[in-house]
Amino acid sequence: MHGRNTNTSNSGSSNGEGCGVVMRKGPWVAEEDEILLEYVRKHGPRDWSSIRSKGLLPRTGKSCRLRWVNKLKPDLKTGCKFSAEEERIVIDLQGRFGNKWARIATYLPGRTDNDVKNFWSTRQKRLARLLQTPLQPNSKSSKSHGKLAVPNHAPTFEVASLDLIPYGEESSSGQCSQTDFMDNPDAREMVQMTPHLENHHHQGLLFNMDPTLPLLEPSVDQEVLLPQLHFDHLPNPEFDFPSSKPRTIFRATRTSSSRTNWPARRHHAACR
């Protein structure tokens, strides 16, 4: 959509692409899309790096793959806002899986991990504003090593709340309190949108999670331990193995990065 810097030698990528060739970056143009589509038509969505090595496009393999996955793949719901049902699914699954956007996206046909990620991020920002609370910046250093160790079995809203209010701290400091939060109709709607969150709120857990609870690292099948969430229509993950490497879809959970997970509020329900 909106470009970044363009025409730079490849940097940062671990793919080792570039090799002196000026790699193009930034927004894709129609001609590039056409070339990429043609390549996929001929060879399928795989061997992305060969697009560059064959001189078809001055783009990294990663860039080509991303463009295909997020924009060019058939049956994408591009430009269509999340429906209420999709929102509910995202909220529920985020509570179950954490920020496993790719995994969550498999339950949402036509949605990509980027879609889900952006959707959630927007909601996080909105709620942070509603609560007048700064978003907890994600520390790069803790991305995968100094983990925050989000309890994957618990709604992440609770985890976020720990960042907001030290255990036992009074609400008079100006920080949002449970009461303040529920006095906000907009924020309240978010909770009501999320049945398991509301349930925890009613249990008094929402803002006073026991800090002594162990911080879990997923070691067993989370599906067994996770609360049983219900869907009106149980979503079926849309397995998509374009490159004949299904390993990545449900591969072993990577260590959780430090996340600041916030509840979200229903915002847009209709397609444009």
Please list every residue from 130 through 169 that binds DNA, using CB under 7 A. 137-140, 143-145
Q: Which is nearer to DNA, 88 or 100 (CB)?
A: 100
Is residue 267 within 8 A of residue 122, CB to CB? The reply is: yes
Rule CB under 7 A: which of 44-73 touch DNA?
46-50, 53, 61-63, 65-67, 70-71
27 binds DNA (CB under 7 A): yes
Cα dihedral across residues 52, 54, 55, 57: positive or negative: negative
Residue 9, H or E segment = strand 8-9
Which positions from 226 through 265 interact with DNA, judged by CB under 7 A?
A: 242-243, 245, 247-249, 251-252, 254-255, 257, 259
Q: Check residue 1 for interaction with DNA (CB under 7 A).
A: yes
Query: Which span sits near DNA by CB under 7 A: 84-92, 107-115, 151-159, 214-222?
Result: 107-115
Collapsed DSSP state (helix, strand, coil) of residue 23: strand
Confirm if 150 and 256 have CB atoms less than 8 A apart: yes
**Residue tagged 């899986």 (tokens):** 97
Q: Does 111 bind DNA (CB under 7 A)?
A: no
Task: Decide: is 4 part of the binding site for DNA (CB under 7 A).
Answer: yes
- The answer to whether residue 173 forms part of the interface with DNA (CB under 7 A) is no
26 binds DNA (CB under 7 A): yes
Under rule CB under 7 A, residue 43 binds DNA = no
* Phi, psi values for residue 250, rounded to 5°: -120, 40
d(CA 58, CA 14): 17
Nearest-CA neighbor of 116 among 235, 12, 16, 204?
235
Kindly state the number of chain residues that form the binding site for DNA, as judged by CB under 7 A. 71
Nearer to DNA, 49 or 208 (CB): 49
